[in-house]
Structure 1
Amino acid sequence: MSQDLYDLLGVSRDADADALKKAYRKLARQLHPDVNPDPETQERFKEVSAAYEVLSDPQKRAAYDRGGDPFGGGFGQGAGFSFTDIMDAFFGGQGGPGGQGGGGRGPRSRMRRGQDALIRIEIDLAEAAFGVSRELKVDTAVLCTACQGDGAAPGSHPVPCETCRGQGEVAHVQRSFLGEVRTLRPCAACRGFGTIIPEPCRECSGDGRVRSRRTLTVKIPGGVDTGTRVQLAEQGEIGPGGGPAGDLYVEIQVAAHETFTRHGNDLHCTVTLPMTAAALGTTLTLPTLEADVEGAGSSAGADPGVETSFDLVIEPGTQSGSQEVLRGRGVPGLRGGRGDLVVSVVVETPGRLDARQEELLRELAALRGEEQPTGQVKAQQKSVFGRLFGH
């Protein structure tokens, strides 16, 4: 290789390590065989890689600056460079996939974040609307108190791995058209931790955590619905090695109510009236959702401002299928506001009449001129699509 190594990388002779790495990344992206398979470009890539291998090593760079032969007999003869440098050029890492300098990832920590946990609970509609606190029994991984998450039996400690000398990685060298390519792999003896536990804790078998059942209190805010998840930060599984806990998610399932059905933040209910009440009008007393809240109403200690019932006025001549909308009597929203209560009226026609009832109804029909009603036949109303497309 006759060309100056600094010229090959396009840097000055006083370039620092960052400038060298930046120049090499740029050239490697342009010249790598996977990007440009041209034979001349491959040869150029070999030269650039060899130049970077020399100049990135302080001892080899010093020898080259003094006029010595840094390759010890030519390119590819004893010259090796880390495969992580090539990966670094393409993926922008800092010295390799592990994000640490020096061309390797180093030992990985035994301490890792725990997994998130999910439990499902069923609550009543009123509890979902106004909020409630619940005690939960949770079976999760907790910190092992015998070893405090260390994984080693009391009185012992993890020791450095003799195979990788505590690095967590071992080098693997193979020949290729690039010369000797060195890759780093997790040490099989210590599984990449860099240490070995000679005497694992008997309580947790070296994992640093054990299974345990504990009791938590979760506060469910008003306005939740089926499928809503309440997050309890750091109340999930403790991580291996005593790592930080994950989060616990409580998923809500709202039980069906005997009176009300929920649509968003609106409540719907149906009242059935006899024909006479619909014709003459009446007033009905209906319960509110607050009536389901423990302690609500006029009992001792109850909030006097909470209405557990309300009066619904049925106007004379109310028809079956009509609706009464009561504003602000639905479910409170998670972000404020409150839905409505929609009351649907169903008028019930009597199915059995005694002689006197039948006689009175016939008299009423005669007074109204309805002995032989013809009925009113109307065309069926078109749907939205029918009106748009003429169907």
Structure 2
Amino acid sequence: MSDDFYDVLGVSRDASEDEIKSAYRKKAAEYHPDVSDDPNAEEKFKQVKKAKEVLTDDQARQAYDQMGHERFEQAEKRGGFDGGPGAGAGGDPFGGVGGDSPFGDIFDQFFGGGNGRRSGARPGRDLQTRLRIDLEDAYHGVEKRMTVNRPEQCDECDGTGHPPDAESRTCSVCNGRGQRTTVQQTPLGRVQQTQTCRECEGTGTVYTASCSTCDGDGQVVNETTLTVDVPAGISDGQTLRLEREGAPSESGGPNGDLLVEIAVESHPDFERDGNDLVHRLAVSFPQVVFGDEVEVPTIDGAASFEIPSGTQSGERFRLQGKGMPRLQRRGQGDLYVYVQVVTPESMNEEQREALRAFAEAGGEEIDVSQGFFEKLKHSL
């Protein structure tokens, strides 16, 4: 038994509602479990009942014709029906879905409701833009104003694409359906293809004149200033969604969304690693030899930091809680300080003698031509 609802009832695709009901009564009598000897009678009875329910509902039938059997069934499994076959009270195989049609949910899902002549009240398309902020803004969170160019509904024609006094007529190409459906018989079975009518762009209606402001598009591009709330702890490349700030719908649905990609500028003092920050602290040779208390920058201001005696160049220290805030969570990351010993580019004679004496006290031979600090740098 074919899964296609028309084949299940044995009717053509242009069958009238009366023909469908008549075919259903015959099939229901044939497969009723109380009278049929067919071992699969109960399943077939449910199938013909479902086929009748779909094909005698104007909206559901249009959805079925446009999507085809497989996509229609997939939509049902994704939640197009409330509970599925047999879930409703009183044996209603379609779960008692609210509304005039038991298929209201699935029709709204794919066509956005409407009068059955349009392709549906789908939302407008999402738009994308980028907003640059500095690391301090990402640390504290910030409210930013940004200007974007985006399509908006044409005020002149209220988004219709034609003057109010333009004459209209039913599209002769699709006969007002908004779609053109072709059915071909192939060796693998019947193939159905449905496309939006190009002549009327899916509206089912054509007009004698177009709006001079938007050239019939129903939309114009305007410059708009928006406010974006950037949360503390946001990272480079993350995206904020501004609901209903995207392009308007072409079929009466809600606007799309505006997706704002955040670009965090590099910082001269810090590198970022997730919620942690990294700072490279330049110190002198005596500071790491004898130890010293220094200040290191943080985004909240300078913090005291103790360099222990004998610290090696490249050694890492952790300042807990001095990193970036954790996005939408409590607490902060850490600040990691890497100590880097800086070799002086020039020294006076007194400094040279002191270092020469230091090296000799340790039993090292000094090559004056190379320079002690150069040797020291290469050894670290």
* Fold shared, TM-score > 0.5 on shorter chain: yes
- 1:154–1:201 Cα contact (<8 Å) kept: no
Match of 1:275 in 2: 285
Counterparts of residues 250-329 of structure 1 (less than 5 Å): 250-290=260-300, 308-329=301-322
Structure 2 residue runs of 5 or longer lacking an equivalent are: 27-54, 56-60, 77-102, 109-114, 367-380
Which amino acid in 2 is paired with 1:313?
A: E
- The separation in 1 between residues aligned to 2:65 and 2:362, in whole angstroms, is 100
Match of 1:345 among 314, 339, 343: 339
Q: 1:227 and 2:227 equivalent?
A: no
- The separation in 2 between residues aligned to 1:113 and 1:193, in whole angstroms, is 16
Q: CA deviation at 1:240?
A: 2.0
Q: Deviations over 1:35-68 (max 9, x none)?
A: xxxxxxxxxxx9x7784459985258769999xx
Larger Rg over CA atoms: 1
Structure 1 residue runs of 5 or longer lacking an equivalent are: 1-26, 33-45, 67-80, 291-307, 374-391
Q: Deviations over 1:213-234 (max 9, x none)?
A: 1100111111111111111111
- 2:118–2:251 Cα contact (<8 Å) kept: no
Which amino acid in 1 is paired with 2:302?
A: S
Judged with a 3 Å threshold, the aligned counterparts in structure 2 of structure 1 residues 90 and 211 are, in CA distance, closer, same or farther, namely closer
- 2:117–2:176 Cα contact (<8 Å) kept: yes
Which amino acid in 2 is paired with 1:348?
A: V
Match of 1:132 in 2: 142
Secondary structure of residue in 2 paired with 1:28: coil
* Percent identity of equivalent pairs: 34
Which amino acid in 2 is paired with 1:247?
A: D
Secondary structure of residue in 1 paired with 2:244: coil
- 2:11–2:19 Cα contact (<8 Å) kept: no
Q: CA deviation at 1:173?
A: 8.5
Judged with a 3 Å threshold, the aligned counterparts in structure 2 of structure 1 residues 117 and 63 are, in CA distance, closer, same or farther, namely closer
Which amino acid in 2 is paired with 1:141?
A: P
Which amino acid in 2 is paired with 1:252?
A: I
Match of 2:372 in 1: none
- The separation in 2 between residues aligned to 1:167 and 1:341, in whole angstroms, is 64
Match of 2:356 in 1: 362
Judged with a 3 Å threshold, the aligned counterparts in structure 2 of structure 1 residues 150 and 111 are, in CA distance, closer, same or farther, namely farther
- 1:209–1:241 Cα contact (<8 Å) kept: no
- The separation in 2 between residues aligned to 1:64 and 1:276, in whole angstroms, is 97
Q: CA deviation at 1:134?
A: 1.2
- The separation in 2 between residues aligned to 1:126 and 1:245, in whole angstroms, is 33
Judged with a 3 Å threshold, the aligned counterparts in structure 2 of structure 1 residues 341 and 61 are, in CA distance, closer, same or farther, namely closer
- The separation in 2 between residues aligned to 1:146 and 1:189, in whole angstroms, is 23
- The separation in 1 between residues aligned to 2:65 and 2:195, in whole angstroms, is 15
How does the TM-score come out when normalised to structure 1? 0.62
Q: CA deviation at 1:86?
A: 12
Counterparts of residues 98-247 of structure 1 (less than 5 Å): 106-109=116-119, 112-156=122-166, 158-161=168-171, 164-168=174-178, 189-241=199-251, 243-247=253-257
Mean Cα deviation higher: 86-95 or 194-203: 86-95
Q: Deviations over 1:226-259 (max 9, x none)?
A: 1111111111111225542111111111111111
Match of 1:332 among 325, 349, 360: 325
Judged with a 3 Å threshold, the aligned counterparts in structure 2 of structure 1 residues 349 and 259 are, in CA distance, closer, same or farther, namely same
Question: How many pairs does the alignment contain?
Answer: 291
